[in-house]
Amino acid sequence: MDNFLVTLLFMAVIGAIIGGVTNHLAIKMLFRPHEAIYIKNWRVPFTPGLIPKRRDELANQLGLTVVNYLLTPETFRKKFFSKDIQEKVEQFAQVKIEETIFTNDKTIQDWLDLAGFSHVPMTIEQKVESIVAGQFESLKNTLSTKSIRTLLSADIQETIDAKIPVVVGHILEKGEDYFLSPEGEMTIKAMMDDFLSSKGSLGGMINMFLGDSSSLVSKVQRELVKFLQSPGTTELLTKIFVQEWDKLKDRPVIDFLEDIQFEPILVNLQSYVKEQLAVAERLNHPIAYYWPEGSTWMKESVVPRLIEKAFIQAEAKLEDVLKRLNLKEVVREQVDSFPVSKLEELVLGISQREFKMITVLGAVLGGLIGIVQGLIVNLM
């Protein structure tokens, strides 16, 4: 009886050792050895381990699994294109716009400096100078080559033509007022005295017969007023004005500007335009200074529409993007390039307890088999 128990115990222990060692070896053979072992040209069986040997198949299978079951278009739609995610993106964008773009801490110049355009004010001023100079030169060329008739539109010419009789009437009216005034009388007297004195002895004889020229002033004054009030005078003066105006219209404008120095005008004009623009001063304000309601408008109108449109477009392009990403190939390459030692460490780190239980289970099953074998041997 004692020999039976010893035999039974011995076979149970041997079976347990064989079962445990076998399972432990089987687990190790999943990864070990990492490389095939050769004796001359003969490859040792079961080398490399199962996973290193089937790495390509494993990588392809993992790639298919990820594409077909894990990272599917439907998964992305549920995770990234839900209404909740859209609302969170909108809130994030609204906060960032208010904190960054419409903050009073940064001026427009600060944004330009941040973008690498710190010389924008100088560049704008130089551009303005160039534009003003170009336009000024173009104006000079136009004035030099084109006549007044060409430059003035037909309606303006008609307006000026219609104003000539009015101007003539006004001139004659003012002339009449002048010659009837004391100043006009003095002018007539001075002119008569000058005329008589310029005629020498003849003038002296006339002056002697007529006496002082003052007696003639009133007569000349009346005749001048009659002349100015005469319709013929108005008609004659109007005709002269019209003829001279027609001649002027065919002359280049530059003919009347020959004595003008254009260079100082250009410099002053450029200075005035730059002074009015005040680019540096205007850029030294935040965006909110020029657009106080901009933040509210962006948050309530622009951002929701942009986010909604972006989500719609992104969802529509999702499948095409996933195809272009070729996730299957990405996963295959990553798995194929992953070191087997790291993969072994990762798997064993996660399933170490389970692998130990498998080893223990193998030992228990081996022990039970050993007991059964001992019983069979004893019965035989």
pLDDT of residue 32: 72
In a domain? residue 100: no
pLDDT value for 248: 84
Boundaries of domain holding 375: 2-70+343-379
Q: Are 66 and 328 in contact (CB under 8 A)?
A: yes
Residue type, 244: E
Contact (CB, 8 A) for 362 and 19: yes
- Which residues, given as ranges, of the chain have pLDDT below 50? 203, 208-209
65 and 154 part of one domain: no
pLDDT (0 to 100) of residue 46 = 64
Evaluate whether residue 333 is within a structural domain. no
In a domain, residue 314? The reply is: no
Evaluate the omega torsion of the peptide bond into residue 33 and state whether it is cis, within 30 degrees of 0: yes
CA–CA dist 68, 129 (Å, integer) = 64
The answer to whether residue 181 sits within a structural domain is yes
Three-state SS for 302-318 is HHHHHHHHHHHHHHHCH
Of 206, 227, 251, at which residue does a domain stop?
251
Total of domains in the chain: 2
CA 167 to chain centre: 56
Question: Token pair for residue 279?
Answer: 């680019």
Comparing CA positions, the residue from 61, 158, 89 lying closest to residue 311 is: 89
As given in the structure block, the two tokens for residue 165 are 């009789």
Could you tell me if residue 23 is inside a domain? yes
26 in any annotated domain: yes
Is 154 within 8 Å of 196 (Cβ atoms)?
no
Q: At which of 251, 271, 301 does a domain end?
A: 251
pLDDT of 34 reads 62
Has residue 224 been placed in a domain?
Answer: yes
Q: Quick one: which H or E segment has residue 103?
A: none
Residue pair 358/25 in contact by the 8 Å Cβ criterion: no
Last residue of a domain, one of 251, 280, 298: 251
Q: Are 361 and 115 in contact (CB under 8 A)?
A: no
Amino acid 67: pLDDT = 76
Inside any domain, residue 229: yes
pLDDT at 30: 67
